Structure 1
Amino acid sequence: MNDLIIRNYEETKEEILVDVDKDSFVVDWQKNETWEVSFKVTKTDRNRKAFDIADYESIIIWQGQHYVIKQLKSYAVGEQLFKEVVATHIYYTVQDGFQYTEKTGTLSITQCLQHIFSSGARGFSYEVIDPKNKFLKVEQENFGKNNYLKLIEEVLDDYDAVIVQNNKHLKFYPTADYGEKTNEQIRYKYNTDNVQFDIDTFDLKTQIKGFGKQKEESEGGAYYFTPITYTSPQAEKWGIRIQDPVEDERYTQAGNMLARLKKDIHDYPSISGSTTLKWTVDLSKGDYVAFIYEPLSINTWIQVVGITEYPMIPNKPPEIILSNTKKTMTSIIKQLLKKG
């Protein structure tokens, strides 16, 4: 269903919103960062009721997903009235909840989520998708005392997780299990389509050391486990390049720290870029594309971490952002803008 629905905040009125400027209608998604729709609409005889419903905190419904109007600009040109709307996915209203209590201990991702929503679900539900048991327990200290959104962001970082939202139902996946590998590939500088990529080895490291929790002075002050040094197999190719150590008192088990080091080591060139390539198959959120760059002998997978779609413009392909880095989408976009 591709009708654009507008519903008032009180949920007592609902209309189909027509006469939207199709060129302005954009759906923007960025992994673990944002999801929003934006558009401009002109008041006409056909959409008079719907136009008036479009106000702060009203609900936009597009392809089954609900978005809340958070930014609104109303203006007139002569006798013609216009509104420019930015509506954020309803998931982000999770920030309106607050967990005042704190929890300390060795916790699973499920226990952290249970603690977050124990102050009230606010209409949200969640599930953890981890059939291979990749999520490890993490030593948490004073987890809580923040709004739900910030606590979920902590969970995503601490447990290396990805969140997938279906309105107010949230699914949490291990990052390694999120996304499908496609049959497509990009050969840097040999692709005939519009592809722009940045590659750098500035942060490439091959060795990292991890320090866990120290015992109390009464126990001798030693670490719960001997600090661990992890050396990547890539050291054979690039030599020993030492990354800043991990110092995290939440860790009391050597195995958990080793898993953290293997996750944190940046033993590959950073790749990020954008494309408007017309793929033979549709790329979806989180999908992986083969990336080949002969000068650095790179043959790896890079992930779709951002999609900007123009669904009201026929045959206009989406703009895709791909990356193999752990940078936030904000930093990737800023980097691309600087070099654009």
Structure 2
Amino acid sequence: MADILIRNIKEDKEEILVDYDKDSFVENWQENETWEVSFTVCKSDLNSMTFDLIDYENFVLWNSQRFVIKQMASYASGEQVYKDVTATHVYYTIQDCWQYNVLTGTKTIKQLLTHIFSSGNNGFSWGVIDADNTFLSVEQENFGNGNYLDLINEVLDDYGAIVIPDNKYLRFYPKDSYGKITEQQIRYKYNTDDVKFDIDTFALKTQIRGSGKKDDNDKYMFDPITYTSPESSRWGIRIQDPVEDERYTIASNMTARLKQDLHDYPDISGSVTMKWSTTVNKGDKVPFIYEPLNINTTIQIVGITTYPALPNKP
């Protein structure tokens, strides 16, 4: 396992973390939601300098990524003093920046990201990875006047995007096109015995209607559009809440939005506990074979929890 480093906020002091509870060190990534590390350390003769360096807003450097200590509990048991630490990836400090200006009109994802960062990049940079030109232009109205993280989350929702941070460099991908197809299968009795799947059809719908902007005469700039999924032949007509969004002035853009928003599939989610560590990465598509449930399919990795100090822990 690589060294874990603790660095102060001024970046003029740095120590290696030693003599800590290795069972407690966890890295947790969830797509577009969180990326953090956490651990518990007890002060000892071996780590006293590092222990004192563990403080709010100082950095944890792990696996070439920088995390900021945002949560910490300090407590004692007898003569032993402990710290429980949670450090969030430096990407999430982007919420400390603010774009006051707004823009309106049909915009690409690159135009919105350029607008967000035009108030200052605070060390951040970004790129859009879209070889197939999947991202469509979307009508925006008064986009801005918010912190960078909230605005980026709006972009992720509007354009169906994924952001993968590499420290302060942000890569934006279409939701279905990031990650690699890997032959590293997850298979019952081979590398997992512990599988849980949840399937429900509560949110399954097959038809949705959308309307866009009205002109000065209160008439729609294009007629409301009804999109019916091919899945309706299987499930029947099930109507989803309509989309009413005045940012849209072009019918084709609304149609693309309806296809994206329509929830025409059962919700299927699962968790798998591996017998040993694996090299799958964020977004990878992995063959998954589980004979007891008659499952032979491909799944995408949208969350990983690892215990780097314990290679034999699932």
TM over 0.5: yes
Q: In structure 2, which of residues 271, 274, 283 is the aligned counterpart of residue 274 of structure 1?
A: 271
| SS of match in other structure, 1:122 | coil
**CA contact 2:277–2:311 (8 Å) conserved in 1:** no
Query: Once the two structures are aligned, what percentage of the paired residues are identical?
Result: 63
* Matched residue, 1:240: 237
How far did 1:56 drift? 0.6
Q: Distance in 2 between matches of 1:293 and 1:212?
A: 45
How far did 1:216 drift? 1.4
After the TM superposition, which residues 14-93 of structure 1 pair with which residues of structure 2 at under 5 Å, given as runs? 14-93=14-93
Q: In structure 1, which of residues 262, 280, 283 is the aligned counterpart of residue 280 of structure 2?
A: 283
How far did 1:238 drift? 1.4
Amino acid aligned to 2:52: D
**CA contact 1:211–1:248 (8 Å) conserved in 2:** yes
How far did 1:278 drift? 3.6
Deviations 1:227-273 (A, max 9, x none): 11111111111122211111111111111111111111111111012
**CA contact 1:97–1:148 (8 Å) conserved in 2:** yes
| SS of match in other structure, 2:87 | strand
Q: Distance in 2 between matches of 1:62 and 1:70?
A: 16
Amino acid aligned to 2:87: A
Amino acid aligned to 2:68: V
**CA contact 1:195–1:277 (8 Å) conserved in 2:** no
Q: Distance in 2 between matches of 1:289 and 1:211?
A: 38
Closer, same or farther: CA 50–272 of 1 in aligned 2, 3 Å: same
**CA contact 1:206–1:242 (8 Å) conserved in 2:** yes
Stretch moving more, 130-139 or 297-306: 297-306
Structure 2 length normalisation: TM-score?
0.92
After the TM superposition, which residues 56-135 of structure 1 pair with which residues of structure 2 at under 5 Å, given as runs? 56-135=56-135
* Matched residue, 1:313: 310
| SS of match in other structure, 2:270 | strand
Structure 1 length normalisation: TM-score?
0.85
Give the count of matched residue pairs.
310
How far did 1:150 drift? 0.5
Closer, same or farther: CA 292–43 of 1 in aligned 2, 3 Å: closer
* Matched residue, 1:321: none
Closer, same or farther: CA 157–186 of 1 in aligned 2, 3 Å: farther
Closer, same or farther: CA 271–293 of 1 in aligned 2, 3 Å: farther
- Where do 5+ consecutive residues of structure 2 fail to align? none
| SS of match in other structure, 1:27 | strand
**CA contact 1:212–1:248 (8 Å) conserved in 2:** yes
How far did 1:78 drift? 2.0
How far did 1:222 drift? 2.2
| SS of match in other structure, 1:149 | helix
- Where do 5+ consecutive residues of structure 1 fail to align? 318-340
Q: Distance in 1 between matches of 2:18 and 2:242?
A: 56
Stretch moving more, 231-240 or 16-25: 231-240
**CA contact 2:206–2:231 (8 Å) conserved in 1:** yes
How far did 1:182 drift? 3.5
Report the aligned-residue RMSD.
2.3
Q: Distance in 1 between matches of 2:112 and 2:52?
A: 42
* Matched residue, 1:252: 249
After the TM superposition, which residues 150-229 of structure 1 pair with which residues of structure 2 at under 5 Å, given as runs? 150-183=150-183, 184=185, 193-217=193-217, 221-229=218-226
* Matched residue, 1:328: none
Amino acid aligned to 1:10: K
Q: Report which of the two has the higher share of helix.
A: 1
* Matched residue, 1:335: none
Deviations 1:137-184 (A, max 9, x none): 111111111111101111110111000000000000011212233443
Closer, same or farther: CA 123–234 of 1 in aligned 2, 3 Å: same
**CA contact 1:186–1:289 (8 Å) conserved in 2:** no
How far did 1:124 drift? 0.4
Q: Distance in 2 between matches of 1:122 and 1:270?
A: 39
Q: Distance in 1 between matches of 2:245 and 2:277?
A: 45
Closer, same or farther: CA 128–192 of 1 in aligned 2, 3 Å: closer
